[in-house]
Amino acid sequence: MPDSSGRHDMPEIPGFVETATLIAPRPEEGPKDHTMVLNMGPQHPSTHGVLRVVLEIDGETVVKLVPDIGYLHTGIEKTCEAKFYQQVVPLTDRIDYLCPMTNNLCYVLAIEKLLQLEIPDRAQWMRVLLNELTRLNSHLIWLGTHAMDIGALTVFLYTFREREDILRIFEQVSGQRMMTSYFRVGGLALDPPLGFFETAQSFIRILPEKIDEYENLLTGNPIFINRLKNVGTLSAADAIAFGVTGPPLRASGVDWDLRRDMPYSSYEKFQFEVPISHDGDVWARYIVRLQEMRESVKICQQALDGMPSGPIKADAPHIVLPDREKMKTQMEALIYHFKIVTEGFQVPAGEVYQAVESPRGEMGYYVVSDGTAKPWRVHMRNPSFATLQALETMCVGRLIADVVAVIGSIDIVLGEIDR
Amino acid sequence: MREELLNKEAVFESLAQNVAIQAMRAAHPEAVTNAKFDRGELTLVIAADSIRAACRTLQRAGYNFLEDVTCVDWYPAEPRFQVTYHIVSHTLKERVRLHVFVESIDPSVDSITPVWPSANFYEREVWDLFGVRFHGHPSLRRIMMPEEWEGHPLRKDYPVEGYR
C-alpha cells in the first residue's frame, strides 16, 4: 500500500499460518483433552503437491481436519485480465498441469460461445480425441501415484510407461509434451501431422490390455483391497452438498457426467457408458476411474474411426490466425495476422459460463467481456477446489494412513486449487 | 442463432415454462430485480437481502447443485461488485446464474453456506480476492493469499504486478 510519502512499502515476507489458529487448543478440558495436533504438508510426498492439512488426532484416529491451501497461488485470474483473449490459452495449461487440453478446451469453448462461432467438425472431433487422451493421461498418473501412496510401487512404473506414449502423441501434435496450448479460439493451432493417427491408433489398440495388467496387479491384491474398501465413505447427499464432481461424485452414486448430460464439442455423437458405483468409498472411486479409462479408449476409437476431413479452423478471418502459406501470398491474410497479433480481436460484451468434464470433475470457465480485446474477468471453477471441502467428512474417525488413501482417491491437483 | 432477451418482462414472458423462473415468481416475485437471457444462459439479478431465500427456493425447485460462487468488479461503476452464483439442476439439466450487486462501501452479502455448504471455500475466495464479506459464514478468513496480506488482489484498482 502507498504510504503518506507516496512510496510503496515492501510487504513483509508472509509467514506460515499458525497451526493453533486453524485448530484451537482446548485448555478448559484439562486432562480430558488428550488429542494432539499434527501438521501434514505442505512438503509431504502423499499430498500431491503443496497441500497442507492440519490434523487433530486422538492416538491414530483423526478427530478434525483442516486443509490449508494457497501455496501455489499465482494469480492467473488476475493475469488473464491483462492479456488478449488468445494470449490466455497458454496460461490455462498451467492451471491443471495434468490435463492441459481440457483446460484449453474449456477456455476456447467459452470464448467461442461469447463470439457465437461455429467450429468445423474435424476440429471438434480432434478436440474430443485429445481430451480423452488427456483423461487417460491424467488417470494413469492418478493410478500410479495413488497405488504408490498405498505402497504398491510397481504400478507407478507401468502407468508412467503408457503415459510416456501419450506425451509423445501430444508432442507430435502440438510440439509440447505437457503444456500443449494446442487449441485456439476458432479451432486448432495446426492440422495434425502425418503419422499422428497411426500413432494414436496403435496406442489405443494396446491400452486395454495394459489396463488389464494394472488390474492384475491391484484389483485382486488383498493389501490393496483392505486399504481401500470402506475407507473415506462419502454419501451422495454429502457429495452434492460439498460440491464434489467427477469420479468421486459418480462413485457416491450420482449419475452425472457433463459429457453426456450437457454435451459440448460434439460429445453427443459418441456412444459411451458413464460408470457409477453406490459404495462411495475409496475402492468405488478406484473402480469408477478404471472403468472410465476403458470408456475413454472407446471414445478415442470412435473419434479415430469417424474422424471427418475438412478445415480445422473456423471461417472467421478477424479472429483466427491465417495459414502461413496464405500470409505469403495474400495481402488480406497478412493484414489480419498483423491486426490479431498486435491488437487482439474484440469480443462482444456479455458473459458465459462453460463447463466441461475434466478428469477430476466439472471444470468451468466464467468469462465476462466488456467488448474490448481483453477479458474483463476470467474465473475458473476447478473440481479439486470444491472436492477438497469434503475431505474432512471423508477422513474423520479414520486413521492417519487412511487420510493418505483418501487424498489419493480424490485425485487433487494443487495447481488448479490455488490457480 | 443468437437470441437475446435483456429485460425482466421479456424474459419472464418468453421463458414462462422455465422452472427457475416459475419458482422465483411463485415464492418471491419482488426479489428478482432484473433478468437476462443471452447466448442460451439465463441470468437472474437478485436483491441483495434475499439471496439466501432465493437459493433455498431454487434448491427446492430442483436446482440441487451449486457449481460456483465468484465476483466481478465493475470499478469505477456503482454498484461495484457483482457476486455471481452458478447453480445447476441434475434432473432438469439446466443451469441458472444469479447476480447480486453490492455497493463499494462495506461490501457485504448474506452467506449461502446454510443452503449449500460447498459455498464455504468459494465465499472465502471472494472475500480474499475481492473483499466482499459474507454474513453468517462459518469461518471467513483468507484462502489464497497469506493471512497478513493487505488489499484484495482481484479488485480492478489493485495493480496487476502488485505494489512494489
Q: How many domains does chain A have?
A: 2
Cell triple for A9: 512499502
Residues 6+ apart with CB under 8 A from A59: none
**Residue A8 pLDDT > 70:** no
Q: Is A407 a residue whose pLDDT tops 60?
A: yes
Q: Is the pLDDT of residue B86 over 90?
A: yes
Superfamily of domain B4-110: NADH:ubiquinone oxidoreductase Nqo5 subunit (3.30.460.80)
Taking residue A13's Cβ as centre, other Cβ atoms within 10 Å add up to: 6
Domain annotation covers residue A141: yes
Confidence band, pLDDT 50/70/90 cuts, at residue B149: confident
Distance CA B43, CA B35 (A): 6
Within the 349-408 window of chain A, which residues sit less than 8 Å (CB to CB) from chain B? 350-353, 355, 362, 364, 366, 368, 376-377, 379, 381, 385-386, 388-389
Strand segments, DSSP code E, in B47-105 are 65-73, 81-89, 94-102
- The answer as to whether A132 is a domain residue is yes
In a domain, A79, yes or no: no
List residues of B whose CB lies inside 8 A of any A CB: 2, 38-41, 43, 64-68, 70, 72-73, 84, 86, 88, 90, 93, 95, 97, 116-118, 120-122, 129, 142-151, 153-154, 158, 160, 163-164
| Domain match, A57 and A139 both | no
Q: What is residue A295's three-state secondary structure?
A: helix
Residue with cell 468409498: A281
Which CATH number goes with the domain that contains A163? 1.10.645.10
Q: Is residue A164 part of a domain?
A: yes
Residue A81: inside a domain, yes or no? no
Mean local confidence (pLDDT), B78-91: 91
Give pLDDT, residue A17.
63
Q: Where are the beta strands (DSSP E) in B2-145?
A: 4-5, 32-38, 41-46, 65-73, 81-89, 94-102, 108-110, 133-135
pTM score, whole prediction: 0.89
Please state the separation of Cα A114 from the chain's center in Å: 23
Domain-by-domain residue ranges, chain B? 4-110
Grid coordinates in use for A93?
A: 495449461
Domain match, A130 and A23 both? no
What range defines the domain where residue A44 resides? 19-68
Considering the domain boundaries, does residue A2 fall inside one?
no
Pair (A63, A126) in one structural domain: no
Asked, for residue A147, whether it belongs to a domain, the answer is yes
pLDDT tens-digit series, residues A170-190? 999 988 888 888 998 988 888
pLDDT in the model for residue A19: 62
pLDDT of residue A2: 45
CB contact (8 A) between residue A379 and residue B150 = no
Q: What is the pLDDT of residues A65-78, one digit of tens each?
A: 888 888 888 889 99
Which pLDDT band, with edges at 50, 70 and 90, does A108 fall under?
very high
In a domain? residue A99 = no
